[in-house]
Structure 1
Amino acid sequence: MSRVVAAAPDVIYAYAADPDHLPNWASGLASSPAVRDGDALVVDSPMGRVTVRFVPRNDLGVLDHDVTLPSGVTVTNPMRVLPHPEGAEILFTVRQLDASDQEFDQDAALIEADLRTLARLIEEQTLAVGD
């Protein structure tokens, strides 16, 4: 799933990689501020308390992250910010794994809403800075 955003890739990456911004745009992942625990983030989510580990910051736009669920299962979420003629494109790979079709559709809808929110926040911030 992807979303084109009218902003530079580095602007999107910087915003999305900041753990303090997670509750602002990732409602499917974080419903409270992230608490840092070493290289991990601990957040309350719709799934319960989860641990999130992002790959180290990089110049490639890679925002892959592992989410360890309350059950102890860890899910890897590939995420990228890529240059696009209209600004940048955010790509998030949604995997069905053991989820039912209904659970997968619900997860995909949450991720789509999160990407839409991230795009809106970035575009509003970009417009505000340009004023």
Structure 2
Amino acid sequence: MRSRHVSQVIRRPPAQVYDFAANPDNLPRWAAGLAQSEIIREGNTLLVDSPMGQVRVRFVPRNDYGVLDHDVTLPSATTVNNPVRVIAHPEGAEVLFTVRQIELSDDEFERDTALVAQDLTRLKELLES
């Protein structure tokens, strides 16, 4: 299994970036690689229509450390852990997302990595506009 880190610097305070990204209602606005429509909540779990089909997403509890890790349970029942951090950067904040190659061909892994990069760019554009 390969992993790749994708990051994006956003010219906003880390707390502002974290608050926006941690709000599940905002996911369809910036995380098209994960959420393409309204999110359904089942307790602490989110049901999301994604490019992979309907998936279950569970985020770590809100915290003061900028950790946005989340598990995505795929239609195949495989659960993928996605480490995500919002960290301080001299220009504001940096969002760092680790993409893992689980149940993906090399081409699919490249596509997923590109989708994450697009999502982080969209997050930057939303927060900087």
TM class, shorter-length:
over 0.9
Higher helix fraction (1 or 2): 1
Give identity over the alignment, percent. Answer: 60
TM-score, L = length of structure 1: 0.92
Unaligned 5+ runs, structure 1: 125-131
Alignment partner of 1:47 out of 44, 52, 57: 52
Alignment partner of 2:125 out of 106, 120, 125: 120
Higher strand fraction (1 or 2): 2
SS at match of 1:94: strand
SS at match of 2:112: helix
1:57 maps onto 2:58 in alignment: no
SS at match of 2:68: coil
Shift of 1:98: 3.8
SS at match of 2:57: strand
Q: CA RMSD in A?
A: 0.7
TM superposition outliers: structure 1 runs of 4+ over 3 Å: none
1:15 maps onto 2:15 in alignment: no
Unaligned 5+ runs, structure 2: 1-5
Map 1:20-35; keep pairs closer than 5 Å. 20-35=25-40
